Amino acid sequence: MGLTKKSITISQDLYEATKNISDNFSSVAAAAIEEYLRKNCIEKANLSFGSWEKRKEESIDIVNELREEKNRNYAEDNH
Write the DSSP string, 17-43: HHHHH-S-HHHHHHHHHHHHHHHHHHH
pTM here is 0.55
Per-residue pLDDT band for 49 (boundaries 50, 70, 90) equals confident
Does residue 57 sit within a domain?
yes
> Could you give the CA distance from residue 63 to residue 70 in angstroms, rounded to a whole number?
11
Per-residue pLDDT band for 48 (boundaries 50, 70, 90) equals confident
Q: How many domains does the chain have?
A: 1
Does residue 47 sit within a domain?
yes
Predicted pLDDT at 34: 95
Q: Which domain holds residue 26?
A: 12-74
Q: Could you tell me which residue, 26 or 45, shows the higher pLDDT?
A: 26
Does residue 6 sit within a domain?
no
Does residue 43 sit within a domain?
yes
